[in-house]
Chain A
Amino acid sequence: MRYLALPLLSQNLTESTARAQTLSLYLQLSLQVSLSQRNESTMSSSSSSLPSCPKKVVTLKSSEGETFEIEEIAALQSKTLENMIDENCADTPIPLPNIKGKILAKVVEYCNKHAEVGVDAESLRAWDAEFVNVENTTVFDYILAANFLEIPTLLDLTCQSVADMIKGKTPAEIEKTFNIKSAFTPEEEEQVRRENQWAFE
C-alpha cells in the first residue's frame, strides 16, 4: 500500500478548485482502499495484520496445501528462496511438497527470529537451544527442510544437536535412540568391530 502524497489544501483556493481537489483526493483514496482490499483477499488467512510499510512477502505452500507467509528479508536466509526471489519466481505461492505444515511453520519462525535486528548473541543462542529441544524425529524433519531450503545456520544448528545426541553413546544406544538396525553381515560385523573396538568403553 503506497502512501498518498497528500497535497496541502491552500487557504486561497476558490470553492470549485477546493471541491475538485477533494473529489480527486476521494477518488485516489477509494482506489487505494479497493487495491488493498484486493491484496487482502489474496493473502493467506494466517496473516495477522496488514504490513504498515512496503514489505515484500513470499508465500510458501506446505505438503498439505497450507500457506505460510514469510517476509522477503527473512526468506533470504534460504539460498533456495533467495534464488527464486532473484529470478522473480517468488510472486506466486511456492509449493514445498516435501515439507509438512507443522515443520514449515517452525522453519518460518526460525527465519523470522534470525532476521530480527538488535537481538544479542547470548539470547539468540538460548532461543536456538530451545528450538532444537524437541523429539529427534522433529529434528530429523528440520534437517531435511533446512537441507532442501539451504538454510546454513539452521542446518548447522540441527546437525550439531544430532551430533550431541550421538556423543557418549555406545553403538547399541545409538541404534536404539535413532531406531536404526545395524544390518551388517557377520563378516562386516567382525570387520567393523575390529576397526572401531578401540573406541568402545
Chain B
Amino acid sequence: MYGGSRAAQLVTVPSPSSVKKKMWNSLPLDVLAKIFSFLSPESLARANSACRHWHRCGRGYLLSMGSAVTWKHPPWFVAVPIRSLSGCCYVHNPNSDNWHAVPLDFLADPVRLISPIGGGLILLRSTSTTVHQLALCNPFTRQYKRLPKLNIPRTNPATGIVMLDPSRGASFPAFRVYVAGGMSDAPRGCGTYESTLEAYDSARERWQIIRPMPVEFAVRLTVWTPDESVCCDGVLYWMTSARAYSIMGFEIETNNWHELSVPLADQLEFAALIRHNGRLTLVGGTCSGAVSVWKLREGEVWSLVEEMPRELGSKLLGGKANWGGTKCVGTDGVMCLYRDLGSGMVVWREMKDNGRWEWFWVEGCCSIRGKKVQNFPIRAVLLHPNLAPSHFLN
C-alpha cells in the first residue's frame, strides 16, 4: 500500500516496561558510530570503557584514511623515547593541552621511531638487531607486527614511506616502504655500500628489489641520512647532512635519483624536511638564531615563507649555544619543533576558524598525573590516534 522500503519497515511499538531497557546501550551501531565520530581520541577511549556495546562500536569503528576524509580533530604529537627505557610513549592532546603516557609494553622488541604511515600507524625499526628490521605499530590498539626480512640484509639504510592512493581500490592501509643504501656484509668480512633499493608493498606484503642506484647516493644515504623522508608529487625526499645540507630525491615512477640544494646550506645548524600544505617544505635554524621555513616552488626554487618569532626561538633553544638536536615534524595543518620530552615545543598551526597560521608554545611533558617524568631524548611523529584495531596488524 505504501511505496518505498522505509514505510514497510514497521517497527513494533515497545511496551512501557521495555522502553527503559532500550536505551543508550542498544543504540544502532551506525548511529552510535556517528556520535563517536564527534569525539576526540581521549573521550572516545573513555566512551569505549562504558559498556560492551559501546566498546564494540568504538573499536570497530574504523576511521578511514585518505585525503577524502576531513579530520574533525587535529593530529596528536606522539613522542617515543629514543632508548625506550620507560616503556611508554608520550602523547600530547592538542584539545586539552595536556600529556598522556601510552604504554608500549606490548612491543616485542626495543624500537626506534621512523615515520607515521597514516591511519594512526607508525613505522618503527627494531633495535634488537643491527640488521635493518622494520615493524608497524599502533600504540592505541596495542598492536605490533614485524615486516618480513629484507632480501639483502643491510645496516643503516635510509627508509622512506609512500602512502598509496586509497581510492585506487587498495584496502587500508595502503603504503609502500622504500629502503635505500646501507652497508651489507661482504664475504671478506668488511662491509660494502649496498647500492640497491628495496620496496615493500602493503598489498603484496613482501619486499622486492628495485634496480640499483648510483653508489655515491647510496653512501650519502647510509652515512648522513636520518630516517625521516617526505613524499611529494611522486618524489621521495631525504635530507642528508654531509658537511653542508643537501637533499636527495628519488622519483618513484622512473626510479631516477637527483639532488636538490638547500638554502643557506652551510649556515644551517639543523634542517628538516616536512610536508606542508602538500608541498615540500624545509625548516632550518641558522647560527644567527633564526628559524626559517622555505617552500619548494616550480623549477625547484626555494622561497622563504615564514620565520619563527624570535622569542619562541629563544625559548626552544633554552639557553643552548646552537640548534643541534632540534627536530621538526609537520603534516598538513600543523608543524612542531622540539628537542627533548621536557623542553617544550614550538607549534605552528592553521587555526580552524579563520584559516590563518599562528605560532605558539606548548609546555613539555614533565609530569603525568602527579608523577614526575624523566626528560628523555625523543623522536616524534604527528598522527591521528586510531582506536580501532587494524586487521593488517594481526
Contacts and interface: CB of A to CB of B under 8 A. Distances in A.
B3 A199 contact: no
A196 B36 contact: no
Interface stretch (A24-32, A37-45, A68-76, A166-174): A166-174
Interface size class, chain B: 35 or more
B23 A84 contact: no
Given A180-B50, A199-B45, A87 B4 contact: yes
A92 B100 CA distance: 58
A200 B44 CA distance: 11
A162 B40 CA distance: 13
A156 B36 CA distance: 11
A168 B102 CA distance: 19
Contacts, number: 137
Interface string A89-121: 100101101100000000000000000000000
A159 B38 contact: yes
Interface string A108-145: 00000000000000000000000000000100100110
B353 to A, nearest CB: 14
A32 to B, nearest CB: 31
B331 interface: no
A98 B12 CA distance: 7
Interface residues of A, number: 52
A178 B101 contact: no
Nearest to B96: A168
Interface of A: 63, 80, 83-84, 87-89, 92, 94-95, 97-98, 137, 140, 143-144, 147-148, 150, 155-156, 159-160, 162-164, 166-171, 174-175, 178-184, 188, 192-201
8 contacts: A147-B31, A148-B6, A148-B11, A163-B36, A180-B51, A183-B52, A195-B48, A197-B103
Given A147-B28, A180-B25, 20 more contacts: A63-B13, A80-B4, A83-B4, A137-B23, A159-B37, A159-B38, A166-B39, A167-B39, A169-B46, A171-B46, A178-B25, A182-B52, A192-B55, A194-B103, A196-B49, A197-B103, A199-B41, A199-B45, A199-B46, A201-B369
Q: Sort A-B residue pairs by CB-CB distance and give the 7 closest, nearest first.
A: A199-B45, A163-B38, A89-B3, A98-B11, A178-B24, A171-B49, A87-B3
